[in-house]
A and B are shown apart, each in its own frame.
Chain A
Amino acid sequence: MITLGLLEKNTFLEAVNKKSGANVLECYQCGKCVSTCPVSSYMDFPPREIMQMIKLGLKEESYMANSMWFCLTCSACSGRCPREIDIPAVMEAIRHLAIEENYRSENKKVKDIRKFHDIFLDMIKRYGRNYELRMMAEFNIRTRNLFKDMHLAPKALLKGKIPIGHESTKSAKAIQRMFKLAGKLEKEKR
């Protein structure tokens, strides 16, 4: 539903501005972010359009977009934005809001990206540090794509590019506690 600012309060815009610390209303739609963004061609709504969607209060459409999942936080856009809007922070805000409000895109790419991040965090929770080889293996298992990158494995393993072993932090308990408490904080603010 399109809300016309004047008639109805745009609570979505307010939530995004608050979370990101940016002011999306300052965007004057020049499109420099789109031409700068290395992945805008993969987004269903490139950054400029997302900015306008937020201004129009198109909450669900924004949450279901793949854009914020494709954003690499490379900050090329914000560096060139003539209004100096922190666009990656805006992308991050709608991503976090979508997670908090339980919006899940069925897009295969978005699902894969989310799975990757879940596995990465799982590695930290388990070992305190990333275990690169296991992360790759788990990704293949969880995305049911067992042979992905397998052709690279012999060379990468033989050459020692990807070590087979891994390290852990000694304070496993402290890490797990941090995960628990940070999770609690995440719920509290909702």
Chain B
Amino acid sequence: MNKLTYFPGCSAHGTSEEFDHTLKLVMKTLDVQMEEIPDWNCCGATSAHVMTENLALALPMRNLVLAEKLENKTMGIACASCYSRMKGTKKHLDENPEQAKRINSTVIDEGEYQGTVEIKSMLQYCFEEIGLETIKSKVTKSLSGLKVACYYGCLLTRPKDVTQFDSPEYPMSMDLLMEALGAKAMEFDFKTECCGASFSISNTEVVESLTGKILEVAKESGAHLIVVACPLCQSNLDMRQPDIEKHSGKKLDIPVMYFTQLMALAFGYPEKELRLPKHIVPVEAALKHIGDPVPEPEKVKKTKKAVEAESEVE
């Protein structure tokens, strides 16, 4: 049994409770024992670093110090925004030991910062630590027939020197994970475009514009649904969708699920465990595509130009 220190983040106990719930189910099947950081606090997310430098480091630091007290030294983080703040803070503290000492004085009651915990997003943990083969071996209900567009957003792979994971331009880890479950991952050019994040509340029209484009391109890809690994992406793409449809006049109707919900489904958990009623854009119709006959992969027809080019080479 593997052990994992777990930082859920505020939304995992709020708007993205279905992410947290299915993640726990999936980890149970994968024989990973999750230990939540006792009495963790908000990492400061979008706001602390916008307004202040020191608090933006102090908030994640308290969590890091609390995590260091646990026996296991790998931390998995559900939310992409928390992941970015925690991992970015750790990098900054490790590179600036003087400042780390100063910031440590604000949370010194919790202990001294050591920098001994390794941070991974839950997607990264599944991909790197558990591995696709193991995941494949746990699939009892293949998702074959289901076409998905994997949306990573900004912070899971960017900035590269912080995340150290996958490609910042065209990542494939979630696509490969979905294929391991039997689903078909579609080509999707907007997989790392920004959804507008916290502007959802303070600057809604920006989010509607950015999210609208992402949804449209996902729809055009032929996907039945969008798969995400971030609570903020999920709520922007899902909750804002009816308004986007109203304002643009275009029907989108494309559900947005967490990758853990699909993993749980493929691992044989009943649909009621996925907490589907929480979705604003209903999911059920899309999931009916599971079991659709999958056409044989088409042989790529060579264009006239390609044939000509080849014969020239010869």
Q: Give the B-binding residues of A (Cβ under 8 A).
A: 38-39, 42, 70, 72-76, 78-79, 86, 88, 92, 95-96, 99, 109, 112-118, 120-121, 123-124, 128-130, 132, 135-136, 139, 148-149, 152, 155-156, 159-163, 166-167, 169-171, 174-175, 177-179, 181-183, 185-186
Contacts and interface: CB of A to CB of B under 8 A. Distances in A.
A128 B42 contact: yes
Contact of B278 (A39, A95, A160, A171): A160
A81 to B, nearest CB: 11
Interface stretch (B122-130, B202-210, B264-272): B202-210
Contact of B106 (A86, A117, A177): A177
Pairs A-B, 4 closest by C-beta atoms? A116-B202, A120-B47, A74-B154, A181-B106
Contacts of B182: none
B62 A112 contact: no
B55 A182 contact: yes
Interface in B5-64: 10-11, 13-15, 17, 39-42, 44-55, 58-59, 62
Interface of B: 10-11, 13-15, 17, 39-42, 44-55, 58-59, 62, 102-103, 105-107, 109-110, 154-155, 158-160, 168-169, 192-194, 196-199, 201-204, 206, 210, 235, 239, 243, 277-280
B106 A162 contact: no
A139 B59 contact: no
A79 B160 CA distance: 7
24 contacts: A70-B203, A74-B197, A76-B158, A92-B50, A116-B202, A117-B46, A117-B51, A118-B51, A120-B198, A121-B44, A121-B47, A132-B14, A159-B278, A161-B15, A162-B14, A163-B17, A167-B13, A169-B40, A170-B39, A174-B109, A174-B110, A178-B107, A186-B52, A186-B55
Contacts of B239: 152, 156, 161
Contact of B196 (A72, A79, A161, A163): A72
Nearest to B193: A38
Given A74-B154, A79-B159, A186-B53, A128 B41 contact: yes
A72 to B, nearest CB: 5
A75 B154 contact: yes
A125 B17 CA distance: 23
A115 B202 contact: yes
Contacts of B155: 74-75
Nearest to A84: B161
B287 to A, nearest CB: 17
Contacts, number: 168
A132 B10 contact: yes
Contacts of A124: 41-42, 44, 48, 59
Contacts of B103: 182, 185
A78 B169 CA distance: 12
Given A79-B159, A152-B243, 9 more contacts: A38-B196, A79-B168, A86-B159, A121-B51, A132-B11, A161-B235, A174-B62, A178-B59, A181-B58
B19 to A, nearest CB: 12
A177 B45 contact: no
B52 A182 contact: yes
A32 to B, nearest CB: 13
Contacts of B47: 116-117, 120-121
Nearest to B102: A185
A159 B15 CA distance: 11
B210 A120 contact: no
B206 to A, nearest CB: 6
Contact of A116 (B106, B107, B198): B198
B227 to A, nearest CB: 18
Contacts of A123: 42
B86 to A, nearest CB: 15
A116 B200 CA distance: 10
A161 B280 contact: yes
